[in-house]
């Protein structure tokens, strides 16, 4: 049975990941509706949840058109890459004690690696479309993601230093008493910002930037291939939220003042849900910076912050060791 556990879990995650992303499209629109003084989808089914099915049917039945001027193979490959990479990222997420597909001692690096792979999807999609707007979108994403990857990795070093391990289970267990969101506040801030940039959602949706580049890198995509991009984006959103919870908000642990009397999986999913809501709120509230402003924010503000964070964390750890 225990050998079968990861397989069952993997299938469950695969299915619930896709379903979750689909529901998230509905949930996001409803939530935006609440904040924006309007309804959002509310016609099909209770609270409009049937909209998810309707959207899926529509996307499935759309003509699967590949532009004759595009690079066919790459054009088809690009949207699958993001979904696969994001799905793989879920392999190392510890949902509850023992409830994860694989506990590797480089879990964190694996996660970072998988999110990096997702860049290729956007980049190749933009290039293969042979469309100027898509090209500009691809260019922006290349620059944006490559630079934000640096801070994303570095911002987690504080957590790693405090835990002494790259394993996500170890990281969660290290937070039994104090969550890293208190001790690693700078790391959290940088990681959240880099996380939004990685999942290219507003305000960092520059590769897409509908007001500037119509639809950016996926201008030429429609039907299921477009749906794959959207799926990838929502999976990315969920993955980043899971990671924020895992790395900074104690993973499956309940809040200190409440304790662990509720099931760990509840705490994990509840906290992830809150983070997702926060991302949706961000999307509703903030304007989009210009591409060069985003870059200079990254290199001039975020990079120094992460470096300072690493220094402070290191110094503090050494100091504590010295005292002990």
Residues of this chain that interact with other proteins (CB under 8 A) are: 32, 35-38, 132-133, 136, 139-140, 202-203, 209-214, 283-293
Say how far apart CA 181 and CA 162 lie, in whole Å.
12
Q: What is the distance in angstroms between the CA of the first residue and the CA of the last residue of the chain? A: 45
- Residue 34 vs 311, nearer CB to other proteins: 34
How crowded is residue 112: how many other Cβ atoms within 10 Å of its Cβ? 18
3-state per-residue secondary structure call for 176-241: CCCCHHHHCHHHHHHHHHHHHHHCCCCCCCCCCCHHHHCCHHHCCCCHHHHHHHHHHHHHHHHHHH
Residue 15 CA neighbour count, 13 Å, CB half? 5
> Which one, 212 or 260, has the nearer CB to other proteins?
212
Residue 268 contacts residue 96 (beta carbons within 8 Å): yes
| The total number of residues written for the chain in this structure | 324
Question: CB of residue 293 vs other proteins: minimum separation in angstroms?
Answer: 6
Q: How far is the CB of 288 from other proteins (least distance, A)?
A: 3
Q: How far is the CB of 292 from other proteins (least distance, A)?
A: 7
> Closest distance between other proteins and the C-beta of residue 283, in Å?
6
| Least distance CB 137 / other proteins (angstroms) | 11
Q: Which is nearer to other proteins, 85 or 280 (CB)?
A: 280
CB of 169 to other proteins, least distance (A): 38
Cα 316–320–322 angle (5° rounding)? 115
Cβ proximity to other proteins: between 93 and 280 the closer is 280
Nearer to other proteins among residue 115 and residue 141 (C-beta) = 141
CA-based nearest residue to 138, from 152, 150, 124: 124
Token couple for 299: 């290199």
Of residues 39 and 266, the one with the C-beta less far from other proteins? 39
């Amino acid at each position: 049975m225990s050998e079968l556990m990861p397989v069952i879990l993997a299938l469950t995650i695969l299915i619930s990941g896709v379903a979750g992303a689909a529901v998230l499209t509905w949930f996001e629109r409803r939530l935006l509706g609440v904040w924006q003084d309007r309804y959002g989808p509310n016609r099909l089914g209770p609270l409009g949840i049937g909209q998810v099915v309707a959207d899926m049917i529509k996307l499935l039945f759309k003509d699967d058109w590949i532009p004759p001027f595009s690079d066919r193979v790459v054009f088809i490959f690009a949207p699958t890459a993001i979904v696969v990479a994001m799905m793989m990222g879920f392999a190392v997420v510890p949902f509850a004690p023992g409830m994860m597909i694989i506990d590797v001692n480089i879990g964190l690096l694996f996660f970072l690696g998988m999110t990096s792979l997702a860049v290729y999807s956007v980049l190749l999609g933009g290039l293969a479309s042979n469309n100027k707007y898509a090209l500009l979108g691809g260019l922006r994403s290349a620059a944006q993601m490559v630079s934000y990857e640096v801070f994303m990795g570095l911002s987690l070093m504080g957590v790693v230093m405090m835990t002494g391990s790259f394993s996500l289970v170890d990281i969660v267990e290290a937070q039994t008493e104090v969550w890293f969101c208190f001790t690693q506040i700078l790391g959290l801030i940088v990681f959240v910002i880099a996380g939004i940039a990685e999942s290219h959602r507003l305000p960092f949706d520059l590769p897409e930037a509908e007001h500037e580049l119509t639809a950016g890198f996926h201008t030429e995509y429609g039907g299921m291939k477009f749906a794959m991009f959207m799926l990838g984006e929502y999976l990315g959103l969920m993955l980043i939220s899971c990671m924020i919870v895992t790395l900074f908000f104690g993973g499956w642990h309940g809040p200190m003042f409440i304790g662990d009397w509720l099931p760990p999986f509840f705490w994990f999913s509840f906290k992830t849900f809150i983070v997702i809501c926060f991302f949706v709120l961000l999307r509703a509230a903030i304007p989009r910076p210009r591409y060069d402003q985003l870059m200079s924010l990254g290199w001039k503000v975020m990079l120094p912050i992460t470096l300072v964070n690493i220094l402070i964390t290191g110094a503090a750890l050494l100091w504590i060791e010295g005292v002990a």
